[in-house]
């Protein structure tokens, strides 16, 4: 009997432990400013190297701050390494857990008050509540349009990857695509996209009526449902998907390095434990496969795709690589000037909402080199001319829910301006 009770107790303890959220107590965010090209190159190598540091703001150009989250174990080694290369690390966040505690307190109180989570557009929502709300919203669509929710495939943990499709009668209708949450920890991304979905599905203003009358909309709020679920249950700052990596104890691939276009050449890591691990091959992940197939299927009719990330106030477009992958000059698309024209009008509309500043341009030039990204695949393989990648507002992955509404307002204004710019 004692053996049975002890086994039950141990099982309960293990169950609780598995369900506990990771503590980021003692985790620090360091900021450095590269002053030379040599320092910039070093930081780029460090980002994808065996030190496995978590870059919150990646190295982009000389003079631009770089932010790195380090654990208590990593702190001293990272500090020494940075200073050895002439960089002067400054702490911008003393204790990451102190940023998370108020957020989890609010969420837990909300759950207790309602006896479980209740969907709220002005707050962050679980994957279960998001999917339930999508189904309910589709069922209550206005008569003027047709709404449906469909799955383009399953994640590694067999969660459906759900798209909300808005259409109406008519032939040869062009379409727009919006996706978010390829990186699980970027919670402001799905929250913003869900509010955009809501205004379209309700035909909530004159622009929404016009744009749903004229075009189909394919909206994928959570591309990485396993990773997003994991950020709620276990590790708030998890980035990748959740598929185990062969020959490694580390989980997950960076899905935004896994698309099968110029895969694995620049701005990636081939180390399975790294945050920017590009996977064993291009398009290896079930989530990537599903999105690739759907982009190719829809591509001939899609005027523009928008893959939403956070954070940094940027509106970007292909390409993400340098010429011949030589690491010097960024490659520009043949229609760079046209992409810049539309991006300028879009970013200006976003800026004018709250008098903010948004960078815009080729992603390699604006932020850093990447290959295997969604927007490059959309343009390079699916043939979508206008493939955009915004980085939303904020200065951290941990953002207050009160930023959801202003994020929606400014990005929605940008989407309207983008459509107007593309269609004259």
Per-residue pLDDT of 239-292, as tens digits, reads: 999 999 999 999 999 999 999 999 999 999 999 999 999 999 999 999 999 999
Q: Is residue 363 part of a domain?
A: yes
The pLDDT of residue 109 is: 84
Asked if 156 and 199 sit in the same domain, the reply is yes
What per-residue confidence (pLDDT) applies to 326?
85
141 and 90, same structural domain? no
Instruction: Using the predicted structure, report yes or no on whether residue 232 has a pLDDT greater than 60.
Output: yes
Whether residue 12 is predicted with pLDDT greater than 80 in this model: the reply is no
32 and 148 housed in the same domain:
no
- Residue 49: the pLDDT is 87
Global pTM reads 0.92
Write 116-125 long-range contacts (CB < 8 A, 24+). Answer: 121/191, 121/194, 121/195, 121/198, 121/404, 122/401, 122/404, 122/405, 123/191, 123/401, 123/404, 124/187, 124/191, 124/401, 124/404, 125/190, 125/191, 125/194
Residues 63 and 149 placed together within one structural domain of the fold: no
Residue 3's pLDDT is 37
Strands (E), 181-266: 216-220
Q: What is the CATH number of the domain that holds 350?
A: 3.40.630.10
Is 107 part of any domain?
Answer: no
Domain boundary among 49, 75, 94: 94
On the question of pLDDT at 14 being above 70, the answer is no
Please list the alpha-helical segments (H only) found in 67-187. 72-84, 96-114, 127-139
Q: Average pLDDT in the 121-150 region? A: 96
pLDDT at 6: 36
Residue that is last in its domain, among 44, 69, 94:
94
Q: Is residue 109 situated within a structural domain?
A: no
| Boundaries of domain holding 77 | 28-94
Compute the mean pLDDT over every residue in the chain, rounded to the nearest whole number. 92
Pick the catalytic residue: 186, 266, 275, 391?
Answer: 391
Residue 103 resides in a domain:
no
Name the pLDDT band for 15 (thresholds 50, 70, 90): very low
Could you tell me if 278 and 410 lie in one domain? yes
Residues 70 and 206 both lie in one domain: no
Last residue of a domain, one of 94, 119, 151: 94
Residues 125-154 have a mean pLDDT of 96
Structure tokens at 305: 């795709």
Examine residue 264 and state whether it is found in any structural domain, yes or no: yes
Give how many domains the chain has, as a whole number: 2
Span 88-105, pLDDT tens digits: 999 999 999 999 999 999
pLDDT at position 166: 98
Q: Is 145 in the same domain as 90?
A: no
pLDDT for 114 equals 66
- Does residue 11 sit within a domain? no
Hunting for tokens 């904020």 — which residue is that? 394
pLDDT average, residue stretch 175-181: 98
Looking at residue 424, its pLDDT comes to 62
pLDDT digits (tens, 9 = 90+) for 299-353: 999 999 999 999 999 999 999 999 988 888 999 999 999 999 999 999 999 999 9
In this prediction, residue 11 has a pLDDT band, given cuts at 50, 70 and 90, of very low
Give pLDDT, residue 117: 60
Buried b (16+ CB within 10 A) or exposed e, 351-375: beeeeeebbbbbbbbbbbbbbbbbb
State yes or no: pLDDT of 2 exceeds 60: no
In a domain, 4, yes or no: no
* pLDDT score at 10: 35
Highest mean pLDDT among 7-21, 34-48, 211-225, 324-338: 211-225
Return the CATH number at 54: 3.30.70.340
Would you say 258 and 372 are in contact if contact means Cβ atoms under 8 Å apart?
yes
- Indicate if the pLDDT at residue 5 is higher than 60: no
138 in a structural domain = yes
Question: Which pLDDT value is given to residue 339?
Answer: 98
Say whether 391 is catalytic. Answer: yes
């Amino acid at each position: 009997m004692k053996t049975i009770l002890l086994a039950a107790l141990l099982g309960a303890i293990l169950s609780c432990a598995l369900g506990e959220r990771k503590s980021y107590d003692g985790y620090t965010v360091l900021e450095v400013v590269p002053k030379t090209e040599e320092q910039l190159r070093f930081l780029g190598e460090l980002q994808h190297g065996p030190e496995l540091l978590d870059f919150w703001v990646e190295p982009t150009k000389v003079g631009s701050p770089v932010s790195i989250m380090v654990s208590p174990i990593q702190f001293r080694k990272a500090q020494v390494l940075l200073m050895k290369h002439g960089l002067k690390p400054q702490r911008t966040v003393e204790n990451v857990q102190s940023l998370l505690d108020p957020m989890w307190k609010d969420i837990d109180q909300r759950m207790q008050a309602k006896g479980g989570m209740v969907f709220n557009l002005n707050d962050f929502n679980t994957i279960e509540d998001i999917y339930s709300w999508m189904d309910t919203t589709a069922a209550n669509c206005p008569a003027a349009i047709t709404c449906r929710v469909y799955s383009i495939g399953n994640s590694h943990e067999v969660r459906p990857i759900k798209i909300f499709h808005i259409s109406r009668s008519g032939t040869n209708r062009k379409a727009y695509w919006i996706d978010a949450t390829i990186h699980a920890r970027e919670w402001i991304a799905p929250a913003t996209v869900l509010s955009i979905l809501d205004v379209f599905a309700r035909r909530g203003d004159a622009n929404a009526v016009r744009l749903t009358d004229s075009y189909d909309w394919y909206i994928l709020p959570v591309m990485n449902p396993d990773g997003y679920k994991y950020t709620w249950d276990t590790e708030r700052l998890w980035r990748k998907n959740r598929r185990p990596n062969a020959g490694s104890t580390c989980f997950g691939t960076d899905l935004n390095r896994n698309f099968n276009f110029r895969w694995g050449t620049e701005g990636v890591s081939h180390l399975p434990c790294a945050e920017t691990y590009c996977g064993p091959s291009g398009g290896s992940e079930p989530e990537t496969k599903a999105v690739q197939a759907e982009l190719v299927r829809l591509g001939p009719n899609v005027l523009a795709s928008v893959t939403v990330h956070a954070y940094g106030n940027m509106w970007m477009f292909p390409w993400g690589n340098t010429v011949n992958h030589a690491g010097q000059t960024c490659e520009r698309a043949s229609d760079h000037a046209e992409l810049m024209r539309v991006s300028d009008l879009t970013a200006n509309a976003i800026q004018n909402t709250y008098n903010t500043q948004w960078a815009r341009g080729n992603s390699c030039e604006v932020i850093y080199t990447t290959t295997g990204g969604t927007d490059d695949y959309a343009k390079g393989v699916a043939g979508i001319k206008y493939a955009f990648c915004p980085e939303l507002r904020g200065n951290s992955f941990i953002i207050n829910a009160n930023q959801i509404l202003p994020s929606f307002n400014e990005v929605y204004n940008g989407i309207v301006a983008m459509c107007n710019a593309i269609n004259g």
